[in-house]
Amino acid sequence: MNTQQLRSLSFITLLLVASVTLFFVSCEKSGVSEEEYQTQYRREAQLINVYDNGIAPLNSLFIAETRQLEQTVVAFKNAPTIANLKASQDQWTAVLQVWKRAELYNLGDIEDSFIHFEINRWPSNTETIDGFINGNATINESFVTGNGSSSKGISAMEYLLFSGENDQATLESFTTAENANRRADYLVALSQNLIVKAEQLEQLWVDFKPTFTSALQSGLSGSQNQLANAMVTLSEQIVIKKLGTPLGEANGGEVEVQSLENYRSKNSLISIKENVIELEKVFTGSYKEQSIKSGFNDFLVNVGAVSISNDIEASFANVTSKLNAISGTLESELVNNSAGVLELQEALNELEVLIKVDMSNAIGATVTVNSNDGD
């Protein structure tokens, strides 16, 4: 074969490839096939549902609750009574509940901003917090802003509001204890900083929304995959850190109540429940009675993975039943019936595997081409 023939052959090959491609492209909408168009349409519906009915209302509610918390702790500072302390504790719990729903949505620009750390990093560094209170620096919101994430946010407020063995002891830390006034100042400053962070979070999401709801591609950068990965991350955190460490998995089997996330306020069960509720909402897309319920379950059914969708729904039901089986607090259950907590952890681990391995495979969230092949 001579050069002329080689060139002709190359030209014919390229022409053939181009013709076949153009033939298929001509049957498409906006450069994608009808099937891909439908897939992206469903994906967009899911992401808009997540943002409009999940993320945005939670962000608004979080701001409202943090503002309410600031008013409550200011009232407590001005009139440090048991009643006002309890009001502050209750409002802090309301903030915690909203946050535990919003905690799931740590992805994209929001994850890159590390704002979730600023809002709730646990455990808090209590020595640092006490150091600030016992120091001389002026305590206000800007002072808190300049400090590290382990001395601020929801967890730091929990430390101050639930520091005593009982409410009376906690109250005394704000009234008769050394630097009681500075402690109250620090509490107020923390609540003010939390409002700032809540507002920043909302703005970050407003800015990120166009990207989030338009990244419809199947690859790793697609929003649906990021959402799936966020689900994996949160469920893994619950299994390993929120339950595993308290169950004594790192120390040979001795339970560690103080390793529970909210052991001071005894709200650890509520935290996990709220996490799971939001995980399930993202999966089913059921945020409101009237809203479009477009979730991962619909997507799985659409790609033919009905059994995976059913298994994950059953797994959520199993986790919920294990959560509901704990009648008291997680703190007391851990001491009195650690087997029940272990069952809960195992149920969550099963859920994690289903999301991380099966669901992610089915929707293409883990598609990276086996690493033996390239980079």
Partner 1 sequence: MTVINKITTYLNTQTSIVPLAIFRMAFGFLMTFSMLRFIYNGWIEAAYITPTFHFTYQYFDWVQPFSTGVMYAIVIGCAIAAFFMAIGLFYRAATVFFFLSFTYLELIEKTWYLNHYYLVSLLAFLLILVPANRKFSIDILRKPGIRRAQVSNWTIFIFKLQLSVVYFFGGVAKLSSDWLLEAQPMKIWLKAKTDLPLLGGLLDVDVMPYLFSWGGIFYDLLIPFLLWSRKSRPIAYVLVLVFHLLTHVLFNIGLFPWMMIFCSLIFITEQEWRQLFKLTRKGDTFKTSAVKKTLPNGILVMLSVFFLFQFSLPLRHFIKTDNVLWTENGFRFSWQVMVMEKTGHTIFTVKDAKNNKQWKEYPSNRLTEIQETQMSFQPDMIWQYAQHLEAIFKEKGVENPEIYVDAKVALNGRRSQLFIEPSLDLTSLDDVDAVYDYIVPLKD
Residues interacting with partner 1, by CB under 8 A? 1-3, 5-6, 9-10, 13, 17, 20-21, 24-25, 27-28, 31-33, 35-36, 39-40, 216-219, 236, 240, 244, 249-253, 303, 307-308, 349, 352-354, 356-358, 360-361, 364, 366-375
Q: How far is the CB of 115 from partner 1 (least distance, A)?
A: 23
Q: How far is the CB of 319 from partner 1 (least distance, A)?
A: 17
Q: Of 13 and 291, which has the nearer Cβ to partner 1?
A: 13
Q: Of 6 and 317, which has the nearer Cβ to partner 1?
A: 6
Neighbours of 282 (CB within 10 A): 23
Q: Of 307 and 327, which has the nearer Cβ to partner 1?
A: 307
Q: Of 88 and 229, which has the nearer Cβ to partner 1?
A: 229
Q: Of 32 and 177, which has the nearer Cβ to partner 1?
A: 32
Sign of CA dihedral 83, 264, 150, 125: positive
Q: How far is the CB of 308 from partner 1 (least distance, A)?
A: 7
Answer for the pair 315, 350: CB distance below 8 angstroms, yes or no: yes
Bridge partners, 153 (sequence order): 120
Answer for the pair 205, 55: CB distance below 8 angstroms, yes or no: yes
Q: How far is the CB of 252 from partner 1 (least distance, A)?
A: 4
CA angle 220, 222, 227 (to 5 degrees): 90
Neighbours of 324 (CB within 10 A): 9
- 147 backbone dihedrals φ, ψ, rounded to 5°: -95, 165
Q: Of 21 and 336, which has the nearer Cβ to partner 1?
A: 21
Instruction: Please spell the DSSP secondary structure of 156-225, one letter per residue.
Output: HHHHHHT-SSSHHHHHHHHHTSTTHHHHHHHHHHHHHHHHHHHHHHHHHHHHHHHHHHH---SSTTSHHH
Closest C-alpha to 270, from 27, 37, 131, 89: 89
Q: Of 3 and 136, which has the nearer Cβ to partner 1?
A: 3
Q: Determine the Cα–Cα distance for residues 194 and 196; give it in Å rounded to an integer.
A: 5
Q: How far is the CB of 232 from partner 1 (least distance, A)?
A: 10
Q: Determine the Cα–Cα distance for residues 352 and 243; give it in Å rounded to an integer.
A: 14
Q: How far is the CB of 82 from partner 1 (least distance, A)?
A: 41
Q: How far is the CB of 315 from partner 1 (least distance, A)?
A: 12
Q: Determine the Cα–Cα distance for residues 94 and 112; give it in Å rounded to an integer.
A: 27
Q: How far is the CB of 64 from partner 1 (least distance, A)?
A: 36
Kindly give, in sequence order, each residue whose CB lies less than 8 Å from that of residue 137, ignoring residues fewer than 6 positions away.
143
Q: How far is the CB of 249 from partner 1 (least distance, A)?
A: 4
One-letter amino acid for residue 131 of the chain: G
Q: 269 vs 61, 126, 323, 333, CA distance in Å? A: 21, 22, 8, 10
Q: Of 165 and 254, which has the nearer Cβ to partner 1?
A: 254
Q: Of 210 and 374, which has the nearer Cβ to partner 1?
A: 374
